[in-house]
Amino acid sequence: MLSNAEENYLKTLLRLTVQSGNKEAGTNELANMLGVKPATANDMLKKLKAKNLVDYERYGKIRLTAAGKKWGIDIVRKHRLWETFLYHKLGFSWDEVHEVAEQLEHIQSAKLIDKLDEFLNFPQYDPHGDPIPSKKGEMKVVYKQTLFDIAPGKHCKMVAVKDNSTTFLKYVVNLGLGLNDKLRVVSKNDFDAQVVIEVDGKKISVSKKFAENIFVI
């Protein structure tokens, strides 16, 4: 049994290593993402090392052990299943699910998650288009191509978002965009990197930062 804090460190390390293809993380980076000070993260790393959840030496890089990775994936699985429940069963909106799921992901009951999975009909993706890991910890490869990578003239389909913050998601909805929308990249501006796209015959111009947070296939 791990505390909520410990679980959050594992979840964040998973994002920082496996999910980003980085393979290793640093103390400051970890602390920043968790909103704590490096000294705090350092203390926790020692604890997680003692529990064999991270692979780590003084002044060295941080990696998850197999056990740590599995635990992190379990949290992601729980988070995404709860998001799916909130969205599809309780009528939460796209941008509201994340915050509540941050709490629900720490509920400890294997049976609860299995039953929830079944109740939701074994969903493959959460409301943000992110893949839901299986019970065994298998997770579909995360999308790598963003809207910014698409060449002008080409078509693509919006399949997920990188940023799950309320601010970003509300912005997306406001622009009239949603998952599975078919997009065409009209142009990419050389001066300020604005990207003009066409959706449903309507043209909209978005920033580089925005385009890099939209995953497409």
Residues in contact with DNA by CB under 7 A are 3-6, 26-29, 35-40, 42-47, 58-61
Among residues 23, 37, 115, 135, the one that binds a copy of itself under rule CB under 8 A? 115
Least distance CB 108 / a copy of itself (angstroms): 7
CA distance 5 to 34: 10
If one asks whether residue 96 binds a copy of itself (CB under 8 A), the answer comes out as yes
Residue 115, contacted partner among DNA, a copy of itself, none, CB below 5-8 A by kind: a copy of itself
**Shortest spacing between CB 169 and a copy of itself, in angstroms:** 16
Rank residues 37 and 89 by Cβ distance to a copy of itself and give the closer one.
89
Collapse the DSSP code of 187 into the 3-class scheme (helix H, G, I; strand E, B; otherwise coil) and give the result: strand
Among 9, 56, 71, 92, binds a copy of itself (CB under 8 A): 92
Q: How far is the CB of 26 from DNA (least distance, A)?
A: 3
Q: 72 exposed, middle or buried (CB, 10 Å; 0-12, 13-18, 19+)?
A: buried
Tokens 């501006």 found at: 189
Structure tokens, 213: 């947070």
**Which residues is 216 bridged to in the sheet?**
158
Q: Please name the residue ranges forming H helices in the chain.
A: 4-16, 27-34, 38-50, 66-88, 97-104, 110-119, 166-174, 208-211
Bridge partners, residue 55, by sequence: 63
Q: Give the shortest CB-31-to-DNA separation in angstroms.
A: 7
- Residues 6 or more apart whose CB falls under 8 angstroms from that of 22 comprise 16
Give the x-and-dash track for 22-61 against a copy of itself (CB under 8 A): ----------------------------------------
Does the protein bind a copy of itself through residue 3 (CB under 8 A)? no
Round to whole Å and give the CA distance between 217 and 203. 20
What phi and psi, each to the nearest 5 degrees, are found at residue 76?
-60, -45
Q: Which does 145 bind (CB under 5 to 8 A by kind): DNA, a copy of itself, none?
A: none
Per CB under 8 A, 1 contacts a copy of itself: no
Closest approach, Cβ 172 to DNA, in A, equals 30
| CA-closest candidate to residue 101, choices 90, 123, 86 | 86
Closer CB to a copy of itself, residue 92 or residue 210? 92
Q: Which residues bind a copy of itself (CB under 8 A)?
A: 86, 89-92, 96, 99-100, 103-104, 107-109, 111-112, 115-116, 119
